Amino acid sequence: MKSVGVFCLLSAVVLVTSRPETYTDRFDNINLQEIIDNHRLLKAYINCILDVGKCTNEGRELKMHIKDAIENRCDKCTEVQRNGTRIVIRHLINHEPSSWDELVQKYDPERKYVVKYEAELKDVLKD
C-alpha cells in the first residue's frame, strides 16, 4: 500500500525540517496522482487528517502543519509541494466536495483562507 501520502501534499506539503523557513522535502517524490486515483488510499489520508482514522507517521506530521500551510499560502513549501498542494486541493474541491468541506470545517471554520483556494482552483463548467 502506498501509504506515503496524499496529504503530504496538502496537502503533501507541510512537513517541517530542521530549517524553520521551509518544510522538509523528503516526501517531494510522492506520486500524488496515484494517491488521488486510489479512493481508498485518499480517504485514509483524509480520515487521518480529520482525526477519525489511523495515521501513518507522515500523516501525523502533516496534521501538525496543515493549518500553518493553509493560513500562509504554503509559504514554507518547496515548489514541488506548492504544485502538489494545488493538485490535491483542486481534486478535493472538484471531485470530493464533502471531504473538502469537512477539512475546511476542521482547519478553517471561519473560511478566512480557503476562499482563495476555492476561487483559484474550482473548475468552472462551460456550457
Q: What is the tens place of the pLDDT at every residue in 35-69? A: 899 999 999 999 999 999 999 877 787 787 888 88
Q: What is the tens place of the pLDDT at every residue in 81-122? A: 889 888 999 999 999 999 999 999 999 999 999 888 888 888
Calpha distance 35→19 (Å, rounded):
28
Classify domain 32-121 by CATH architecture: Orthogonal Bundle (1.10)
> 41: which 3 cell numbers?
488510499
pTM of the model: 0.76
Q: Are 22 and 100 in contact (CB under 8 A)?
A: no
Calpha distance 113→71 (Å, rounded):
6
Domain residue extents for the chain? 32-121
> 2: which 3 cell numbers?
502506498
The per-residue pLDDT for 14 is 47
> 85: which 3 cell numbers?
498542494
The band of 124, judged by pLDDT with boundaries at 50, 70 and 90, is low
